[in-house]
Structure 1
Amino acid sequence: MYLVGIDIGKLKHSFCLLEKETGEILVEPVFFKNNRDGFNALLSSFKHLPQKDILIGMEDTGHYNLALLKFLLDRNYQVALINPVATNLTRKMQGGISKNDKLDTLTICDVLASNQRVKSYRISKYSSFDLYEQKQLTREHHNLKEEENQLSNRLQKCIDVVFPEFNSLFKSKYGIVYMNILKEFGSADAIAHADIRTLRKCFDTGRGKHISLTAQELKEAARNSIGFPSSSEATQIKHLVARIELIKEQIAEIDKKIEEFSIQNNSPILSIPGISH
């Protein structure tokens, strides 16, 4: 069995090659670039060896290893992803303290050669890229929802300044009419001085649905509002509404892709009541 230890970097990686049974180092630790020429140079170092006898190991370092991992899996090499904690512990047991890229390639080989019953690595499969895609999509969904909540809180703060009574006029927040009015006018003062025909356009949802509030009632409420006519807050409201609407569109796009992966996986977890895509 031949072991290839690869230490992952951003612009360049390093690797070494040794024989497991004898511990003989066949290729001393050396750097190669993180590009196709570098990857081909890596393969040329052990292309003379039987592919089925080669085990390649690298740390599971997030995203820096993805391009190289796919390159190797595309060529049917067996690749082990190692927990960085295992590499660190092995380095310390060998007396090393600081990280050294070239020497770490040998440490990675030591982890691969370990006879421990519970291995400190897992053999990567091509399906892991689908898992990566799903993780990224759900993380993006989470990040967008957090950003939407932050923007919504800022929006409510601005509304409290320029039109404190605004929310009480609607049964629910963030509907089409609700957002149209904020995006178009941004304050009670602007609504109070608006042309009633322009105001009515904000009530047109284009879906045949109507709300109990009328344009005239909204205009009257704006006239009697105790809100502070702040142009800066009104400008912020218009910007915040536009950003919230954009994020909602992005969340819908992300959720559609998540559902596509979910249908493809056909996981039995979806049979549990309350669990959706």
Structure 2
Amino acid sequence: MIYYVGIDISKYKHDFCIISNAGELIVENFSFQNNKIGFQSLLEQLKPYNKSDIRIAFEATGHYSLNLELFLVNNGFSFIKVNPLIIHQFLKTRSLRRTKTDKADSITIAKYLMSVPYKPNSDLLYTFFTLKSLCRARESLIKERSKFAVLLTNELDKSFPEMKPFFNNKISETLLYILEKYTSTKHISAMKDYESIRKLSHGKFTYARFAQLKELAKNSVGFHNENTDLLISTYVSIYNDFNNKIDPIEKQISTIINVLNPRMLTIPGIGEISAATILSEYGDIKNFSNPNKMLAFAGLDPSINQSGTLESNGKMVKHGSGHLRYAIMNSALSILRFSPEFYDYYLKKRSEGKCHRVALSHVCKKLIRVIYSLEKNNIDFNPSLLK
């Protein structure tokens, strides 16, 4: 006999039930705390049954379920995580009434588990979770750093408006080094440590550019005072602090992704960070039975409106992880620069009258189908096989 265990996850406690494959509600209204004692009480409830006969499911609720997941894995149990939206839709198909309690939700989860194939968690569960945490932390820090990049740019627009265009409107390591040592145009025009700047730029910042920057500073139309100097110094310091926090995170991401070595890294234009973000959000891609489910997971599938003889495709549903959609869209933009096959596909969609973003969304869908094929079959990217 098979036993289906539905667990409703919350921050401080979890509720669960057990239903047999005959439909008998064996355990109902059992709650346990989100701590060691609570987890041990769950084990006591599961002891009478063979582990191979137990199916466990709970909703994907961020990090609240992580400790329970690791506890179950360490004790020889498997489980699946379900999108809460799917559970909500499943409940609507079974009843017009909505009884929203933790105990009722655990029963709904168990009944849903009975209706679908059981594809348990990956052995790389903790690795994927760690990678996701690192990628999301990096993304958050970069967004915060961008705010100070804007503030720094605003001050430079007032005090030395010619400087950032001179550096191709990028906040480079060389620009930060100069501003860290010389906050005013007066000091920049009198710079003498060319050799230090040359070494920092690995020889890319030539003496000719050094002399040009000094001349720009000497004839700048910018205005500055002590307050401007203070703000520039502050923003440069904060920006460098963010860099010092982001760099070790990126190195750790690189270490993990190189161990996992996903086949999507063989696609021209997909780097380690993009691959890590996509893989960490999806988890084990082998758990997806087809690429359409990967599209749905990312919220890139179109909504469909159908009534009688009328049918139309709407906008992307945008359910699922926004981090995943962002990574896929950015990867698609990068791939267009490096892959003739993907770029030709993009041009084909544009020739059909589709605007840039719609054409790009088609590239994203094609990219997901390619990633699915590469990871499922463990093969490298081969442009000649693209259709």
Q: Report the TM-score, using the length of structure 1 for normalisation.
A: 0.81
2:34 is matched with 34
Q: Is the 8 A contact 1:170 1:178 kept in 2?
A: yes
- Partner Cα separation in structure 2 for residue 59 and residue 177 of structure 1: 48
1:149 is matched with 146
Where do 1:192-203 residues align within 5 Å?
199-200=191-192
Q: Is the 8 A contact 1:80 1:122 kept in 2?
A: yes
Structure 1 runs, 4 residues or longer, greater than 6 Å off: none
1:264 is matched with 259
More deviation in 82-91 or 35-44?
82-91
In the TM superposition, what is the alpha-carbon distance from 1:40 to its structure 2 partner? 0.6
2:162 is matched with 165
SS in structure 1 of the partner of residue 29 of structure 2: strand
- Partner Cα separation in structure 1 for residue 81 and residue 179 of structure 2: 51
In structure 1, stretches of 5+ residues that fail to align are none
1:244 is matched with 239
Where do 1:118-157 residues align within 5 Å?
119=116, 122-157=119-154
1:72 is matched with 72
Q: Is the 8 A contact 1:203 1:215 kept in 2?
A: no
Relative contact order higher in (CA < 8 Å, ≥ 6 apart): 1
Task: Flag the 1:46–1:182 CA change in 2: closer, same or farther, 3 A.
Answer: same
Aligned residues: 266
- Partner Cα separation in structure 2 for residue 110 and residue 169 of structure 1: 64
**Is 1:204 the counterpart of 2:157 in the alignment?**
no
Where do 1:95-110 residues align within 5 Å?
95-110=96-111
Structure (1/2) with the larger helix percentage: 2
Q: Is the 8 A contact 2:164 2:171 kept in 1?
A: no
- Partner Cα separation in structure 2 for residue 272 and residue 223 of structure 1: 48
Q: Is the 8 A contact 1:87 1:107 kept in 2?
A: yes
More deviation in 124-133 or 209-218?
209-218
- Partner Cα separation in structure 2 for residue 121 and residue 251 of structure 1: 39
Matching residue's letter, 1:156: T
2:9 is matched with 8
In structure 2, stretches of 5+ residues that fail to align are 273-387
Q: Is the 8 A contact 1:86 1:120 kept in 2?
A: no
Where do 1:164-243 residues align within 5 Å?
164-167=161-164, 173-188=170-185, 191=187, 199-200=191-192, 204-205=196-197, 207=199, 209=203, 211-212=206-207, 218=214, 222=217, 224-243=219-238
Task: Flag the 1:76–1:236 CA change in 2: closer, same or farther, 3 A.
Answer: same
- Partner Cα separation in structure 2 for residue 177 and residue 82 of structure 1: 48
Task: Flag the 1:217–1:263 CA change in 2: closer, same or farther, 3 A.
Answer: closer
SS in structure 2 of the partner of residue 204 of structure 1: helix
In the TM superposition, what is the alpha-carbon distance from 1:202 to its structure 2 partner? 8.3
- Partner Cα separation in structure 1 for residue 249 and residue 213 of structure 2: 38
Larger Rg: 1
In the TM superposition, what is the alpha-carbon distance from 1:270 to its structure 2 partner? 2.6
